[in-house]
Amino acid sequence: MDSGQPVQGDILQVIPRRASSGGPPSEGGGTGSRRIVLHPARRRKLTRIVIGAVGACGLILIAAGIAHVLRPSQDAAAFAATATAPPPAVAPTPASPPAATAAPPPVPDTPQTGTLHLLHPAAPGKVWLDGQKITVAAATVACGDHQLKIGKAKAHAVTIPCGGDLKVSR
């Protein structure tokens, strides 16, 4: 090869491309691209199909937007779920001698709920309290013992203080 003499493997052979079998050769010089000409009736049918498909997609997007706007926010749902019920109505008791009736037990003034605060990295939607997904950063829940699960970790016992806050990060 150093001598400059051609060797059998040094020859480049150019093979011309065959003409397409579907019609006259293309003007692009053998690029293989062709313009497809549709019959007018078929073209109208395909146009209707494309317009119908695009219209159906538009209707789906509009319906999804309406559903998103009409859906109550997660904060409102959590607030409605944790709102306290009105006190029960007291049924009237028949009049009886004052000595025979006992005084009703005093109503405790202590709160029956506490607040669970989710701090980073515990995120709303990744925390479960007694099997219920917590979707807000601060949830008012019944005080006492609960099972808390964060992410994929195992559930563990926590105690929510009555009238107090429990801050959870992991």
User: Among residues 49, 71, 93, which one ends one of the domains?
Assistant: 71
**pLDDT of amino acid 146:** 93
Residue 159 lies in a domain: yes
DSSP string, 36-61: ----HHHHHHHHHHHHHHHHHHHHHH
Residue 134 lies in a domain: yes
Angle at 155 between CA 152 and CA 159, to 5 degrees: 135
Q: Which domain holds residue 46?
A: 37-71
Residue 146 lies in a domain: yes
Residue 42 lies in a domain: yes
The number of folded domains in the chain is 2
Per-residue pLDDT of the chain (170 residues; tens, 9 = 90+): 456 666 666 777 777 777 665 555 555 455 566 777 778 888 899 999 999 999 999 999 999 999 888 876 655 555 555 554 455 555 555 555 555 556 666 656 778 899 999 888 888 888 989 989 988 989 999 999 999 998 888 998 999 999 899 998 87
CA torsion angle 5 7 10 15 (round to 10)? 120
Bridge partners of 157, per DSSP, are: 147
Residue 158 lies in a domain: yes
